[in-house]
Amino acid sequence: MDQLTDKTIIITGGTGSFGKAFVKFLLQNTNAKKIIVFSRDEFKQSNMKEQFENDERLRFFLGDVRDLARLKRAFAGVDIVVHAAALKQVPTLEYNPFEAVKTNIIGSQNVVDASIDSGVKKVLLISTDKAVEPVNLYGSTKLCAEKLFSAGNSYSGRTTIFSCVRYGNVIASRGSIIEKLKERGTSPIEITDERMTRFWLSLGKSIELIMFALENMVGGEIFVPKIPSMKLVDLFEAFAPGANRKIIGIRPGEKIHEILVSKPEARHCVEYKGYYVILTEFPYFSADAYKKYYTEGNKLSEDFEYSSDANIDWIQKDEIISVV
């Protein structure tokens, strides 16, 4: 963890499930000088202060990524930004599209601008499998955020570097389907489509991905973990065995299966140290910057696609509860 020694790190959206887990990891496992939680929710910030017993390395900034001036003030003296702030609820964002654009797109542009103006060294976006071939507004805004972060490297003169991580559903995160199953009582389970599959990973694995990206990023990459898939019917059976089921059909803006690396992306993707790394096609900097990926990594075939239904790694029904 030497890369974070004496560094100041800020997490936007830091009061969410990932933010709390990441802050705990940083406090327990690194010698970071300062860890800043940037978010809009003063109540959650107050709870986090109590949870971490007012650790002297921890700071809390109220603010919104829509507010560029506030971001610039928050980023002063910061070495690393992990940008986790986003609006994520698919049906809600379809009904409130302008709000999704303001936070997920304009907010991400603000993070890019504030990082460059403040001299931040590394900036990492947390993205989602829904950004790949998006069929809903949420996925579209995250795809746009990925593109903004990649292009940020052309504005920064290499003094600030921007990269992304992309992963699937986080097991037992706030608002997850597992949480809803536990709270459902005796009501029937609504199933959209019994064929549906999803990528899943733990909060711990998401933190491993973040740390790997921060250590290896040179700018413009999208880091993708190798993670298992799960059949949603197996998830339902594990947490609500024998429950009545109601098939309601696939919802608007939803896919039966998700993709983490598309076929067009596979043309410029390598397998590197147990991860997939999608390299930018645009010449923001010298091609030599990616030399380590080409010399130490393995090029993927052009017809490769990393989708949740064609995965080789699966969480079985009898494993799900122990994983959670």
Domain CATH code at residue 15: 3.40.50.720
CA 275 → CA 3, 104, 179, distances in Å?
Answer: 19, 26, 29
Residue 235 located in a structural domain = no
Residue 181 located in a structural domain = no
For residue 14, the enclosing domain spans 2-171+204-226+260-305
Residue 311 located in a structural domain = no
pLDDT score for 243? 74
pLDDT score for 323? 63
In this prediction, what percent of the chain has a pLDDT beyond 70?
93
Q: Mind listing the pLDDT tens digit for each residue in 208-222?
A: 999 999 999 999 999
Which amino acid, one-letter code, is at 271?
E
Residues shown for the chain: 324
Active-site annotation, residues? 130
Q: Where are the alpha helices (DSSP H) in the chain?
A: 17-29, 42-51, 68-75, 90-95, 97-100, 107-118, 137-155, 177-183, 203-216, 232-239, 263-266, 291-296, 317-323
Q: Model-level pTM greater than 0.75?
A: yes
What three-state secondary structure class fits 159?
Answer: coil
pLDDT score for 178? 66
Residue 53 located in a structural domain = yes
Chain centroid to Cα 295, Å, comes to 27
Residue 19 located in a structural domain = yes
Cβ atoms of residues 304 and 254 within 8 Å: no
Of the two residues 285 and 86, the one the predictor is more confident about is 86
Cβ atoms of residues 123 and 160 within 8 Å: yes
Q: Mind listing the pLDDT tens digit for each residue in 236-255?
A: 887 777 777 888 888 888 99
Report the domain count for the chain: 1
Instruction: Please give the mean pLDDT across all residues of the chain.
Output: 91
Residue 249 located in a structural domain = no
pLDDT score for 174? 58
Q: Mind listing the pLDDT tens digit for each residue in 152-197?
A: 999 998 899 999 999 998 876 655 666 666 666 667 777 788 899 9
Residue 270 located in a structural domain = yes
What three-state secondary structure class fits 270?
Answer: strand
pLDDT score for 112? 98
Residue 116 located in a structural domain = yes
